[in-house]
Structure 1
Amino acid sequence: MERFCNVSELPRDVWVAIAIKVATTSIEDLCRFRMTCCVARDVGDDDNVLRMVAIPPPHQLNWVWIRDPIRRRFFERCIEIGHPELLFRKALRELYIRRNHAVGWQMLQNAARNGLDAAKYALSMELLLRRDDRDAKKEGLELFRALEAGNLLPACYSSCFAVLTISWPDEVQMPAKGEKHTICDSTRCMTRGHMGLLYDYRRRAAERGSIHGVRGVNHIRCIRCRADYEVERFVDIARV
């Protein structure tokens, strides 16, 4: 006769898989899951589960979670074990608000290695801004190319914008690009050096509510120039 096992007899990896499924829905669902039984409480604190927990967007995050000591420790624990989204948000704050570049750079690299697209975007912008490092610019361009191919640039930019401007807009200090710094170095490129002017035109058009302010740069054939345009957008994120 077939016998069904008790939930307490389920292997731990099954419990972890269930907990991950719950955690990817919301923090609240994970908390409810942990209150169901002792096994769920233990599994809900597993590193693999906490690394996958869904974090609300910055504008939806309840600040009670941040101010409450117990809940703050929850976020700190998630950061310690390498939660990509929280690492990414903390990295941007360290880089562009607290000006702690060494710590922020390490966190950003970790978040990018964990596969977070927004972290890869910010990392690519940082690499492309390095004026005298050809290897860094090459790596940044490769990241940019992959994100552009996946049509991920708008979402990644929005993620950076949300983290940096919703809570501390007056404290954001983006890196300087330099007037003559361009990623495109081809002497035969017809659009080289014009992306700053194009971005300024688009930004002013957007302020007027003109349709020209929302057009992209897909008509620009040179990918390096398109990267230049994206860098212009990124360093101007605090003014948007």
Structure 2
Amino acid sequence: MAESSQKDGKKENVSVQHKCPLNLLPREIWSRIITMVTLNSIEDLFNMQAMCKVFLGVASLDAVYKHATMSYKPLVYFLIYLDRPERRFLDRCVEVGNVDAILWQGFMEYFQFDCRDKGMELLSRASTEDSVEAGYLCVMCLLCGHEDKDEVQRGVQMIEVIHTSGQV
């Protein structure tokens, strides 16, 4: 649709309504694309969110945060700047159940912030989601960091499960 407007005595055609070509693809496809982008770079995700409303809407879906990986970033990247977008990204990933993020958050709580109970809870949660790294870290914390015999016994049971699984 077009309508005319008067400007300096000349007639101009002005587009009243237009469709964004990005809306032609279903959100599910955009979600998969943005998830793949997130696997490679958190910064690229932030850039996509800033690019347009379509990308902002899709990049804010829980599915994107649930499947994002942070393995290419050093842990200190998330520790130093607690008020930066990277940290909020990690918090959102934990919130939606991202196993990598739960592992990192558990590691930080246990070692950096000295909140051992919360750290062990998060590490155990990641371990139950089939994170071998979280399970192994949880075992080492239980075996080395606790004097409580029940906790040590729990660590021994967990290492037996990991060992019989053949993943380590």
Is 1:10 equivalent to 2:17 in the alignment?
A: no
Q: What is residue 37 of structure 1 aligned with on the other side? A: 52
Higher-RCO chain (CA-CA 8 Å, sequence separation at least 6) = 1
Contact 2:42/2:86 (8 A) holds in 1: no
Cα deviation for residue 143 of structure 1 reads 1.3
Is 1:141 equivalent to 2:160 in the alignment?
A: yes
Contact 1:124/1:141 (8 A) holds in 2: no
Contact 1:88/1:107 (8 A) holds in 2: yes
Distance, in Å, in 2 between the alignment partners of 1:114 and 1:81 is 13
The 5 A counterparts of 1:1-240 are 6-55=21-70, 56-58=72-74, 61=77, 66-128=81-143, 131-132=149-150, 134=153, 137-146=156-165, 149-150=166-167, 152=168
TM-score when normalising by structure 2 = 0.67
The answer to which structure has the higher strand fraction is 2
Q: Give the letter for the 1:85 counterpart.
A: D
Q: Give the letter for the 2:161 counterpart.
A: E
Going from structure 1 to structure 2, the CA distance change for 1:85 and 1:33 (only over 3 Å counts) comes to same
TM-score when normalising by structure 1 = 0.50
Cα deviation, 1:116-137, whole Å, max 9, x if unaligned, reads 2211211233455663475652
Distance, in Å, in 2 between the alignment partners of 1:62 and 1:140 is 29
> Structure 1: which 4+ aligned runs deviate by more than 6 Å?
none
Cα deviation for residue 60 of structure 1 reads 7.3
Going from structure 1 to structure 2, the CA distance change for 1:135 and 1:113 (only over 3 Å counts) comes to closer
Q: Give the letter for the 1:120 counterpart.
A: G
Distance, in Å, in 2 between the alignment partners of 1:144 and 1:126 is 17
Cα deviation for residue 44 of structure 1 reads 0.6
Task: Extract unaligned runs of 5+ from structure 1.
Answer: 1-5, 153-240
Q: Give the letter for the 2:163 counterpart.
A: F
Distance, in Å, in 1 between the alignment partners of 2:93 and 2:129 is 14
Number of equivalent positions: 143
The answer to which structure has the higher helix fraction is 2
Cα deviation for residue 68 of structure 1 reads 4.3
Bigger CA radius of gyration:
2
What is the SS of the residue equivalent to 2:40?
A: coil
